[in-house]
Chain A
Amino acid sequence: MRQAQPTGGTDRAPGPTAPPAYMACGVKKIYGEGRSAVHALRGVDLEIPTGEIVVLLGPSGSGKSTLLNILGGLDRATEGTVSFRDTCLSALDDAGLTLYRRRHVGFVFQFYNLMPSLTATENVELVTEIARDPMAPEDALALVGLSARADHFPAQLSGGEQQRVAIARAVAKRPEVLLCDEPTGALDSATGRAVLSVLRDVNAELGTTVLMVTHAASTAGMADRVLHFADGHIRDVVINDTRLDPAEIEW
């Protein structure tokens, strides 16, 4: 383990030609105005290299979700610039952001957010439907080990299974980046570990850049890079020389 500058490069980059997935510069986010204004982000600079697993670690309320939403094009920064590859997200209008999400980003949320009225397969199809080069929904479910549950409705699945469907749904369109907001937050440790393994497999097999928000420090072991978040900015960046297998993670 060694310390690095917040904006520093990495020696684990896949190749000299691959540009970073994300670059952010002086990103601020202020909710509301005047006395009731909340400074959720107070100037964030970061670089997320392509193909890595990056964990964003910090206490509740420190602005992690806010940052993830901005990177994912769900929200806009109040100040500063964010770019994905060579696209400046700050310059995109709503339609542009929609297209960006549609083409490049997969989301996984803490509460799974499956459509309760659609089966597992159908929830995946919801995304493959509008993707350019999706994998078959069955393959996506096989990837998360849920082939047997393809025709179950969310209400018939356990929390861990639901989250795996959510991951299948997110990766089925072969996104360049997978943004996960506390994906294990609602799960017990064994189930959580299974979900993390799936994320690691996706990263390994598809080369997807994975950015995962969590407040559980133990998760950091499986990351290539850990961004320590506090009070609206990145306090420091830790680059792991070796990644732990999720199965070894102490919960």
Chain B
Amino acid sequence: MVSPLDRKLLRDLARMKGQAVAIGAVIGTGVLMLVMMTGLVASLTETRDAYYDRYRLADVFAPVSRAPERLAGDLAAIPGVSAVQTRVTGRALVDIAGAALPAQAQAVSLPDRGRSALNDIYLTDGRLPEHGRPDEILLLEAFADAHGLGPGDVLAATMNGARRSFRIVGLAQSPEFLYTTPPGELYPDDARFGVIWMSRSALAAAYDMEGAFNEALLALSRTARKAAVIDAADRLLAAHGGTGAYARAEQISNRFISEEIAGLAVSARTVPPIFLAVAAFLLNIVVGRMVQAEREEIGLLKAFGYTDAEVGAHYFKLVLAIAAGGALAGCLGGVVLGRAMVEVYTAFFKFPFLVFRLDPAAFATGVLVSVAAASAGGLLVVRRVFALAPAEAMRPPAPPDYSRSARFRRLGRLLDQPSRMVLRRIVRQPIRMGGAALGIASGMALSVAMLAIYEGFDETVDLTFGVVDRSDVTVTFTHAVSDKTLFELGRMEGVARVEPVRHVAAILSHGLDSHRGAITGLPPDAALYRALDAGGGPIPLPERGLVLSRTLADVLGVEAGQALSVDVREGRQPVLDLPVAAITETLVGAPAYMALDALNRALREPGRVSGAHLTIDSARADAIFARLQDMPTVAGVSRKDDARAAIVRLMDSGAGATRYVMGAIAFVITFGVVYNAARIALAERTRDLAALRVMGFTRGEAAFVLLGELAVVTLVALPAGAAIGYALSFAIASGFSTELYQIPAGIDRASFGQAALVVLGAALVSGLLVKRDLDRTDLIGVLKTRE
């Protein structure tokens, strides 16, 4: 049987369902975020690992210029290596029907017979190329989809300077190419970068690699020491132009995905606590108000012989019911939404299958933490229940003491009576009003911060493509070529300006800290691709030494004047000691710059460039692209507008939706706070308001007294929310930033505006709801009853 107290509890809940739902929604949203995000992190991690495992993604990648096949046995003999797969890869340009600019592709060999021991492929359509049919290829599914290609179609590609025609016999996916990015670019683009798989013998013939390989893949036994294996592989391959073996963690596709997952994990930790804190506060004021209103009932229960614990437990149960209800709804919502999100991400990462995993710990954490937060809010109130002496409680409460607001008498004289009532209440309850303002502010702060992060992404894109890179076209050469090639480019009709650039792949290290990246060599007075400092001014590149971005310098723990060890990963692969000439805050990214001449001098390769930035006459673009494609030294050509469009697409798919989610979050919190504050004000003041009405005040005037204080609280919360959001955005930005990306916490006035609008909207809705409640109240009837 349900005890009468529990029945009272249920009816109380039904009576205050609006408030209960508003608080439950705040708790629920927090738990939902937690369950969804952790579920997403767990599922993506699991799916990624399962995919890697099932398709045997290598643990170590060892690129080399040209190594004889017999070295495979030596590699396999390295202690800790459990499997070896050698292969041939090369860069290719693919003709795209209707597009002037060829797409870039990586050609990867498949064993002539049998499956690849490592980095296997997942055939999504068609069949594998047949042995002895060198024109048969597989195409990366995403790339094929982007161009409407499929089995049976013909594909023309330039490999090693020779144009050839191929037949597509199948489509494939691979754990190695979840994230495909054109060389030299940061963001994935399905349309402009593809992967071609073809038989080893055919590919070897195209790239002069018969009896040799230019990449070895290694799998490690569980007990292997990765660093030792990498060292051993480097030693074996050094004589053959090994460019440095690296672990899976450094592999570009894996790294992108792992960082994306890590970013989600950060949000999963930072966002939910804010909701729970707001919910704790709300429960505190709502249940506090209830205890205040029910002091006679509490006294009565105690008079009957109910113990403090029993009475306290009654109110505590109410808190728990709301918290548990919210948490439960949050868990359910988190599962549903998490599932949907996992599918979105699965498509985004092109996982061929999906392991949907819920993190059971997330449920437990979600429920426990929300119950704990709610309890913290409720306990303070229950203490008041304990303190209430029964005889005391049976007496009607003394009128609230407004004497503290007396010092505003002078100011008050300037105001009309209703405004004075509003002001006095705010002054009398500074803690509660402050708390409500803080609650609203935190809702606003969350959305401001998240919007700011996305603003930061946008800004990075704008800076990269609008300010740093002012060229139209970027040409990448197959290797560092003589700068005479640039004259050839400059002579083409329609090319207005050519600027050299040299990117040198290298491992920068200082003491124990190292970073695998590149050094960018730029000419003096570069105009198309510039080294810029945080203020947008050009960074002078000295005669000698490197200029590092502050972020990179911090990663390496190096100061200006110290030397970096630079392990060059191309050509002769020298290990250089280069001084750090200067450290500056850079506009975007975490680059390492050097004057082009200084870089070439240090490498003892005078007059070399790895690419060029061009400005062209767009009318002649097609002819220029055709010429470029025919140059054997050109590995890739990318048009800035294409690269930019790819990023914008990426942003819109993920970030666009996130804006709405953030708006909803701000709305839920603000609504929860304002509605509860308004309901409490209504309950506490029904008699005052009734008295006003009896005295002849209109409904509108009475509502003003009630809602005026909420308007003030909301308006106070706006600047506070903006300020907190601003600070929060830096915290979240640093959580999201990685070595690959640096997210500036750019704040746009529009972000504040959007967040403020959402907050005001939520406040307005809750104000209207309470106004409706007020209009429905029989104010005169209220006066006849005792409270």
A residues whose Cβ falls under 8 Å from a Cβ of B: 69, 72, 74-75, 94-95, 98-103, 105, 107, 109, 111, 113, 115, 117-118, 122-123, 125-127, 129-130
Docked CA distance A40–B598 (Å):
98
Which residue on A lies nearest to B302, using beta carbons? Answer: A98
**Contact mask for chain B residues 1-39; partner A; CB cutoff 8 A; 1 contact, 0 none:** 001110110011001000000000000000000000000
| Any A CB within 8 A of the CB of B399 | no
Flag if A129 contacts B297 (CB, 8 Å).
no
Interface residues in B, total, Cβ within 8 A: 25
Docked CA distance A55–B234 (Å):
105
Flag if A115 contacts B8 (CB, 8 Å).
yes
Q: Give the residues in chain A near B394, CB-CB below 8 Å.
A: 74, 109, 113
Which residue on B lies nearest to A153, using beta carbons? Answer: B11
| Any A CB within 8 A of the CB of B98 | no
Q: Give the residues in chain B near A123, CB-CB below 8 Å.
A: 4
The listed residue (A98, A117, A122) touching B305 by CB distance below 8 A is A98
A-B contact count (CB 8 A): 70
The listed residue (A72, A99, A125) touching B4 by CB distance below 8 A is A125
Q: Give the residues in chain A near B305, CB-CB below 8 Å.
A: 98-103, 105, 130
Flag if A130 contacts B306 (CB, 8 Å).
yes
Docked CA distance A102–B308 (Å):
13
Q: 29 pairs across A/B with beta carbons < 8 Å?
A: A69-B391, A74-B302, A74-B394, A75-B389, A98-B307, A101-B304, A101-B305, A102-B304, A102-B305, A102-B306, A103-B305, A109-B300, A109-B394, A113-B300, A113-B394, A115-B4, A115-B8, A115-B300, A117-B7, A117-B11, A117-B12, A117-B15, A118-B7, A122-B4, A123-B4, A125-B4, A126-B4, A126-B301, A129-B3
Q: Give the residues in chain B near A126, CB-CB below 8 Å.
A: 4-5, 301, 304
B residues whose Cβ falls under 8 Å from a Cβ of A: 3-5, 7-8, 11-12, 15, 296-297, 300-308, 310, 389-391, 394, 786
11 more A-B contacts (CB under 8 A) besides A94-B308, A98-B302?
A: A72-B303, A74-B394, A99-B305, A102-B304, A105-B305, A107-B300, A111-B786, A113-B300, A117-B8, A118-B8, A129-B4
Docked CA distance A125–B391 (Å):
22
Q: How far is the CB of B40 from chain A (nearest CB, A)?
A: 42
Q: How far is the CB of A186 from chain B (nearest CB, A)?
A: 9
Q: Give the residue among B15, B302, B305 with the most A Cβ atoms within 10 A.
A: B305
- List the 10 closest A-B pairs by CB distance, nearest first: A102-B305, A101-B305, A117-B11, A74-B391, A75-B391, A125-B4, A122-B4, A69-B391, A126-B4, A74-B390
Q: Give the residues in chain A near B297, CB-CB below 8 Å.
A: 113, 115
Q: Give the residues in chain A near B304, CB-CB below 8 Å.
A: 101-102, 107, 126-127, 130
Q: How far is the CB of B1 from chain A (nearest CB, A)?
A: 9
Docked CA distance A103–B306 (Å):
11
Q: Give the residues in chain B near A113, CB-CB below 8 Å.
A: 296-297, 300, 394
Q: Give the residues in chain A near B12, CB-CB below 8 Å.
A: 117
Q: How far is the CB of A18 from chain B (nearest CB, A)?
A: 24
Which residue on B lies nearest to A72, using beta carbons? Answer: B303
Q: Give the residues in chain B near A122, CB-CB below 8 Å.
A: 4, 7-8
Q: SS class of chain B's interface: helix, strand, loop or mixed?
A: helix
Docked CA distance A125–B6 (Å):
11
Docked CA distance A74–B299 (Å):
9
Q: Give the residues in chain B near A107, CB-CB below 8 Å.
A: 300, 303-304
Q: Give the residues in chain A near B302, CB-CB below 8 Å.
A: 74, 98, 101
Which residue on B lies nearest to A125, using beta carbons? Answer: B4
Q: Give the residues in chain A near B5, CB-CB below 8 Å.
A: 126, 129
Docked CA distance A95–B306 (Å):
10
Docked CA distance A72–B390 (Å):
11
Docked CA distance A188–B293 (Å):
28
Q: How far is the CB of A138 from chain B (nearest CB, A)?
A: 14
Q: Give the residues in chain A near B3, CB-CB below 8 Å.
A: 125, 129
Q: How far is the CB of A97 from chain B (nearest CB, A)?
A: 9
Q: Give the residues in chain B near A102, CB-CB below 8 Å.
A: 304-306
Flag if A95 contacts B307 (CB, 8 Å).
yes
Docked CA distance A75–B302 (Å):
11
Q: Give the residues in chain B near A105, CB-CB below 8 Å.
A: 305
Q: Give the residues in chain B near A72, CB-CB below 8 Å.
A: 303
Q: How far is the CB of B142 from chain A (nearest CB, A)?
A: 61
Docked CA distance A130–B7 (Å):
15
Which residue on B lies nearest to A111, using beta carbons? Answer: B786
Q: How far is the CB of A152 from chain B (nearest CB, A)?
A: 14
Which residue on A lies nearest to B394, using beta carbons? Answer: A109
Docked CA distance A127–B300 (Å):
11
Flag if A118 contacts B307 (CB, 8 Å).
no
Docked CA distance A17–B93 (Å):
115
Docked CA distance A111–B393 (Å):
13
Q: Give the residue among A72, A107, A117 with the most B Cβ atoms within 10 A.
A: A117
Q: Give the residues in chain B near A117, CB-CB below 8 Å.
A: 7-8, 11-12, 15
Docked CA distance A72–B305 (Å):
10
Docked CA distance A98–B301 (Å):
10
Flag if B4 contacts A101 (CB, 8 Å).
no
Q: Give the residues in chain B near A129, CB-CB below 8 Å.
A: 3-5
A118-B4 CB under 8 A given contacts A101-B304, A102-B305, A126-B304? yes
Q: How far is the CB of A67 from chain B (nearest CB, A)?
A: 11
Q: How far is the CB of B653 from chain A (nearest CB, A)?
A: 51
Q: Give the residues in chain A near B310, CB-CB below 8 Å.
A: 130
Docked CA distance A129–B3 (Å):
7
Docked CA distance A100–B304 (Å):
9
Q: Give the residue among B5, B7, B303 with the most A Cβ atoms within 10 A.
A: B303
Q: Give the residues in chain A near B296, CB-CB below 8 Å.
A: 113
Which residue on A lies nearest to B11, using beta carbons? Answer: A117
Q: How far is the CB of A64 from chain B (nearest CB, A)?
A: 13
Q: Give the residues in chain B near A94, CB-CB below 8 Å.
A: 308
Docked CA distance A15–B371 (Å):
58
Q: How far is the CB of A219 from chain B (nearest CB, A)?
A: 21
Q: Give the residues in chain B near A111, CB-CB below 8 Å.
A: 786
Which residue on B lies nearest to A127, using beta carbons? Answer: B304
Docked CA distance A184–B668 (Å):
50
Q: Give the residues in chain A near B306, CB-CB below 8 Å.
A: 98, 102, 130
Q: Give the residues in chain A near B15, CB-CB below 8 Å.
A: 117
Which residue on A lies nearest to B310, using beta carbons? Answer: A130
Docked CA distance A117–B8 (Å):
6
The listed residue (A74, A95, A99) touching B303 by CB distance below 8 A is A74
Docked CA distance A140–B11 (Å):
24
Q: Give the residues in chain A near B4, CB-CB below 8 Å.
A: 115, 118, 122-123, 125-126, 129
Q: Give the residues in chain B near A75, CB-CB below 8 Å.
A: 389-391
Docked CA distance A115–B6 (Å):
12
Which residue on A lies nearest to B786, using beta carbons? Answer: A111
Docked CA distance A75–B305 (Å):
13
Which residue on A lies nearest to B307, using beta carbons? Answer: A98
Which residue on B lies nearest to A113, using beta carbons? Answer: B300
Docked CA distance A75–B394 (Å):
11
